[in-house]
């Protein structure tokens, strides 16, 4: 269901998610499965993404690509896939883990730091021995990147960001998750 270049990315994410899981004493098979499945809806047209995952907010409606994690979960569920841990990891890979699902953390980190992206090598290396610190850094990196580009941050990502310990935040933030003016 994905183009060849995306398939290469999917394989790298699955391999890295499994390696992160093993190094952190987590379920390698679930991490690999979630990595393989995470982008199954990534190359679907916008109208199909909107049909499979109706928008929850204005960002979803304006940028249907943000829905590909939820759309993938919908497809997998319709096809009879039932592993809730993997399904949640697939859904959350675009916006950040909701907490308590270490497989979701492995896939989120692997997706933002797999070697083919050419960025976030520090996060990738950190994840091999400190999953929590790597997840914090990955979420902060994503929010900082989006804010730096003037792109609105998805509410689910902001919830993940605000759930981080205060020490993980790079600058003081307002209640919206955006840096406080003058900070």
Tell me the CATH number at 116.
1.10.3210.10
Q: Is the pLDDT of residue 121 over 60?
A: yes
Average pLDDT over residues 68-90: 98
Q: Is the pLDDT of residue 168 over 80?
A: no
pLDDT range class, residue 63, cuts 50, 70, 90: very high
Say what percent of the chain tops pLDDT 70.
90
Q: Is the pLDDT of residue 176 over 80?
A: no
> Residue 182: its pLDDT value, please?
34
> Residue 99: its pLDDT value, please?
86
- Our count of domains for the chain comes to 1
The domain containing residue 38 runs over which residues?
4-130
In a domain, 163, yes or no: no
Q: Is the pLDDT of residue 167 over 90?
A: no
In a domain, 44, yes or no: yes
CA distances from 65 to 38, 52, 134, 154, 167 (A): 13, 12, 25, 12, 31
Cβ atoms of 114 and 39 within 8 Å: the answer is no
Tokens 């304006």 map to which residue?
62
Describe the chain by its helix, strand, coil percentages, rounded to 5. 65, 0, 35
Look up the pTM and report it.
Answer: 0.90
Q: Is the pLDDT of residue 75 over 70?
A: yes
pLDDT range class, residue 177, cuts 50, 70, 90: very low
In a domain, 172, yes or no: no
In a domain, 96, yes or no: yes
Average pLDDT over residues 72-100: 97
In a domain, 84, yes or no: yes
Mean of the per-residue pLDDT values for the chain? 92
In a domain, 159, yes or no: no
Q: Is the pLDDT of residue 80 over 70?
A: yes
- Minimum mean pLDDT among 29-38, 61-70, 165-174: which range? 165-174
Angle at 115 between CA 17 and CA 4, to 5 degrees: 85
pLDDT range class, residue 170, cuts 50, 70, 90: low
- Residue 147 CA, chain-centre distance (Å), reads 17
């Amino acid at each position: 269901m994905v183009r060849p270049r995306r398939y290469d990315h999917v394989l790298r994410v699955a391999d890295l998610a499994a390696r992160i899981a093993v190094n952190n004493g987590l379920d390698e098979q679930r991490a690999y499965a979630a990595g393989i499945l995470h982008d199954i809806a990534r190359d679907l047209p916008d109208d199909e993404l909107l049909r499979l995952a109706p928008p929850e907010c204005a960002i979803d409606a304006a940028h249907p690509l943000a829905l590909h994690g939820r759309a993938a979960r919908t497809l997998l569920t319709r096809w009879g896939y039932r592993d809730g841990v993997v399904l949640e990891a697939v859904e959350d890979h675009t916006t950040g883990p909701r907490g308590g699902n270490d497989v979701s953390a492995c896939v989120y980190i692997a997706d933002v730091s797999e070697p083919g992206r050419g960025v976030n090598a520090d996060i990738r290396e950190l994840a091999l021995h400190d999953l929590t610190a790597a997840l914090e850094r990955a979420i902060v990196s994503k929010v900082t990147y989006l804010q730096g580009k003037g792109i609105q941050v998805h509410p689910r990502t902001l919830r993940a960001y605000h759930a981080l310990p205060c020490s993980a935040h790079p600058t003081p933030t307002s209640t919206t998750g955006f840096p406080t003016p003058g900070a």
